[in-house]
């Protein structure tokens, strides 16, 4: 049965899962969520897909799952692909959720997808400072390594790279972080890699 991923192109959290499904060679399809027009806030969507209103949502047979980290674990566990040392992988998935993607996602949203008059500049400035420290942690970890955990690509890489291929500004420039840049090239070189906007339909006008 085809796996369904409720998603939209701008969601880096959805991209992590879409890329894992693609690289693991699974039979899946994106189900477009019209996020910026409020689809996840409608009663119909919440009743049908996810009462919490979060995207992405994965439907695999009878199972419905939220939170990209739990989906990545599900994909690695059920396929045996993109897997590795459990504690080390979880450590990076949690770091990504705790310190990295969660900050990027919000900052990128405030800087790009909110109307300009509504952008809270003090919040954006504060977040950009925190993010710089986080880029430094990732860059240092990648020194002398091709992948975050072990000797091959795992879901830890796919989680942490989730927002880093997007063109919209959020205080990240690959040229500033040589180790991250090299690692992003490694991921891009994987057979089957696709850019988020080529893997999922976009919700905002390009």
Query: Does residue 95 belong to the site contacting a second copy (CB under 8 A)?
Result: yes
Residue 81 or 99: which CB sits closer to a second copy?
Answer: 99
Q: CB of 19: closest distance to a second copy in angstroms? A: 17
What is the rounded CA–CA span in Å between residue 10 and residue 105? Answer: 10
31, 36, 59, 67: residue in contact with a second copy (rule CB under 8 A) = 67
Q: CB of 149: closest distance to a second copy in angstroms? A: 11
Q: Which span (4-12, 27-35, 90-98, 143-151) binds a second copy, by CB under 8 A?
A: 90-98
25, 94, 169, 185: residue in contact with a second copy (rule CB under 8 A) = 94
Query: Does residue 99 belong to the site contacting a second copy (CB under 8 A)?
Result: yes
Which residues between 14 and 33 bind a second copy (CB under 8 A)?
none
Q: CB of 3: closest distance to a second copy in angstroms? A: 14
- Residues 134, 136, 137, 140: what is their CA dihedral angle, to the nearest 10 degrees? 160
Burial 58-82 (b: 16+ CB within 10 A, else e): bbbeeeebbbbbebbbbbbeeeebb
State the DSSP string of 91-155.
HHHHHIIIIIHHHHHHHHIIIIIS-GGG--HHHHHHHHHHHHHHHHHHHHHHTT-SSSSTTS--H
Q: Which span (23-31, 117-125, 162-170, 186-194) binds a second copy, by CB under 8 A?
A: 117-125
Closest CA to 160 of 105, 123, 78, 81: 105
Query: Does residue 87 belong to the site contacting a second copy (CB under 8 A)?
Result: yes
- Return the number of other C-beta atoms located less than 10 Å from residue 53's C-beta: 16
Residue 81 or 119: which CB sits closer to a second copy?
Answer: 119
Residue 4 or 195: which CB sits closer to a second copy?
Answer: 4
Query: Does residue 86 belong to the site contacting a second copy (CB under 8 A)?
Result: yes
Query: Does residue 65 belong to the site contacting a second copy (CB under 8 A)?
Result: yes
Question: Apex CA 138: angle with CA 200 and CA 196, to 5°?
Answer: 10
- Per-residue tokens: 49: 């897909």
What is the rounded CA–CA span in Å between residue 179 and residue 181? Answer: 5
Task: List residues binding a second copy (CB under 8 A).
Answer: 51-52, 63, 65-70, 73-74, 77, 86-87, 90-91, 93-95, 97-99, 101-102, 120, 122-123, 126, 137, 140
């Amino acid at each position: 049965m085809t796996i369904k991923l409720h998603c939209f192109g701008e969601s880096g959290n959805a991209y992590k899962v879409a890329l894992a499904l693609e690289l693991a060679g699974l039979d899946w399809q994106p189900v477009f969520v019209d996020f910026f027009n409020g689809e996840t806030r409608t009663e119909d969507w919440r009743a049908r897909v996810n009462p919490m209103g979060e995207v992405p949502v994965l439907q695999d047979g009878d199972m419905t799952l939220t939170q990209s980290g739990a989906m990545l674990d599900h994909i690695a566990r059920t396929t045996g692909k993109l897997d590795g040392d459990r504690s080390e992988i979880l450590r990076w998935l949690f770091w990504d959720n705790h310190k990295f993607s969660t900050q990027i996602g919000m900052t990128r949203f405030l800087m790009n997808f909110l109307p300009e008059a509504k952008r809270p500049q003090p919040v954006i400035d504060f977040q950009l400072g925190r993010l710089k420290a986080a880029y430094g942690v990732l860059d240092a970890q990648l020194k002398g390594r091709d992948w975050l955990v072990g000797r091959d690509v795992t879901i830890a890489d796919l989680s942490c790279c989730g927002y880093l291929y997007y063109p919209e500004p959020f205080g990240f420039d690959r040229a500033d972080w040589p180790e991250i840049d090299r690692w992003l090239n490694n991921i891009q070189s994987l057979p089957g890699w696709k850019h988020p906007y080529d893997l999922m339909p976009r919700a905002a006008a390009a």
